[in-house]
Structures are given as C-alpha cells and as structure tokens.
Amino acid sequence: MSGHHRDHGHDHGHSHVHTDNQKVLLISFLMITAYMIVEAVGGVITNSLALLSDAGHMLSDSFALAIALLAFMFGAKAVSTGKTYGYRRFEILAAVLNGITLIGISVYIFYEAMERFTNPPEVATFGMLVISAAGLLINVLVAWFMMRGSDTKNNLNMRGAYLHVLSDMLGSIGAIAAALAMMFFGWAWADPLASVIVAALVLRSGYYVTKSSLHVLMEGTPIHIDLNKIVEAIKRVDGVNGVHDVHIWSITSSMNALTAHIVVDGDKTIYETEAILQTIEHMLEHQGIAHATLQAESERHAHDSSILCAAKVNRPDTDAHAHRHHG
C-alpha cells in the first residue's frame, strides 16, 4: 500500500486576491463605521427607530468587516506543527460570530418596534430623510467598491460582509420611504414598520451566514461539490479498479480537501501507481479540490468497499490494541 499526497495551491494568485480583499475591507470598514456613528447620533436626535435600526445594521456591517479583516490577518499566519492548516479556520469562526450577532440585533429591533406600533413617538422627519439618503449613498458606494475590488463570490467572509452592505442599502431605502410617508401622510407607524423590514433583512442574512459557516465547521461536503460525481470521475480514470472511504470537506471558504482510498492492480509498480494518482489529482483540481490525499491499495485490500467510511469508533478503553485498524 502506498500513500500519496499533493497540494496544488496557487499561492501567488491567492495572495493577490487576499491583499485585494484586505484593502477593500479596510476602506469599507472605515467608511461604514464613520457613517454608522453619524446615523446612530441622527437616530437619537430625530427619535427615529428606522434610523437607529439602520445604524444597528451598520454596526453589524462594521463588526462583520472588522471580523473579516481580523480573519484575513489571522488566516495569513504561517502553518506550524501545532496548527498544520495555520489559522485558516478563524475566518469561519468569525463568520459564525457575525451571523449570531445579526440574529441578536434583529430580535432586539423587533422588540423595540412592537413597543412603537402601540405608542408611536414624535419623529423629526426631515432630519431622518437627509441622514437616511446619505446612508444609502454610502452603502451604494461601498457595495460597488466591494463588487469591483474583491472576491465576493467565493470567499465566505467577503460574501458575508457584502451581503450585510446590500441588505443595509435596503434598510436605508426603508428609512427614506418611512420619512416620506410621515412627512406627506402623517403615518407615524411607517417608522416602526420600516425598522421591522430592516430587522427581517438582518435576520435573513444572519441565518444564511450562520448556516453556511456551521456547515463548514461540521466538515460538511462543500455545497457546490457533488460527492457522487467526484467518485464517478475517479472511477473513470484509467487503471482505477475502485474507490472507497471518500471524505470531502472545506478547510475554509475556497479551500476544499479530499481523502480517498484508490484500488489499483497489485502488480503495478510504484511509478505506475503514482502516475494514476497524479492523474486523479489533476482532475480533482479542475473540480475545485486543491488539497487531495490519496491512498493506493491493491485488490486484496482489507477495507470495507463502501464509498463512505463505515468504520466503527472504538471506545478508548475497550481492548484498543486488539482492535487496531490498519489504514
């Protein structure tokens, strides 16, 4: 039996995207945080819950951006013998924290809004309109900047931060609409209604960011990768007689890993077997799996041949030496 491992990392390209993401995050963070303070003060002065909830959303944006920035800084730390993947997972922990914070903020806004529906206070509508319009402008600018300069498609943290900014944009539109409704029609309920809509958006993005992050932490198969298709593709490689004990997971967003046992003819040389494994790795790279560890076995292998690992986990105190599993 021979084990074979290759990690096809495109380090240069990755670090370039990494630096771009970091730069975009820093500028976006400074813009959002500065305006969040303006909006929070404006919300208190004008007595608008819609503005305050939008500021709350901006606070969560600012928090998301700060965590994402920290994640990139930690994620770039070198690997060590204690942490063989470095701090890449920090990004996912950051995304979970970010999602849970969003859910908490939305619950608080719902609670505040219920109070205001029954007893609507006086709101300084003109000030509210000016501040929310400026908020919308800032959000549009930041969203455009993020779309242009960073990887919002593949990077979970960047996508989380980008989603915050997008739903925040809708929050500003809600606050503008509420201000206009109160100015022209005197609808006092428009302010808490706008804040409830913002809270629903906050809750939705919080739910999705938390769900995606927990999927990664639970070592789930990456959403865009079909395990069965990967297995079929491996089986089609010339010289492969079978494949079993397959595991596919994400180390962090845009970094997927795979381990598998590959069955080949026992009379093949090590060189021939290596050539087969290299062909598989090359194919996997095109399927979005850059980090593959493959174990070659002959047709006489003593493992269960099911695709997924069916090994029972022994309790550490039950005759561990007698039941040693050789892999």
pLDDT of residue 163: 76
pLDDT of residue 324: 42
pLDDT of residue 57: 78
pLDDT of residue 10: 45
In the chain, CATH 1.20.1510.10 sits at 10-217
In the chain, CATH 3.30.70.1350 sits at 220-327
pLDDT of residue 75: 64
Helices (H), the chain: 11-46, 49-75, 90-118, 125-149, 156-185, 190-217, 227-235, 270-286
Question: Residue 184 is encoded by which pair of tokens?
Answer: 């022209």
The torsion of the CA quartet 34, 35, 40, 43, rounded to 10 degrees, works out to 150
pLDDT of residue 51: 87
pLDDT of residue 326: 43
pLDDT of residue 238: 93
pLDDT of residue 145: 85
Give pTM, 2 decimals.
Answer: 0.70
pLDDT of residue 314: 52
pLDDT of residue 247: 92
CA distance 14 to 299: 39
pLDDT of residue 85: 64
Q: Looking at the domain covering 220-327, what would its CATH class be? A: alpha beta
Residues of the chain with pLDDT below 50 are 1-2, 6, 8-13, 313, 315, 317-327
Q: Which CATH superfamily is 10-217 part of?
A: Cation efflux protein transmembrane domain (1.20.1510.10)
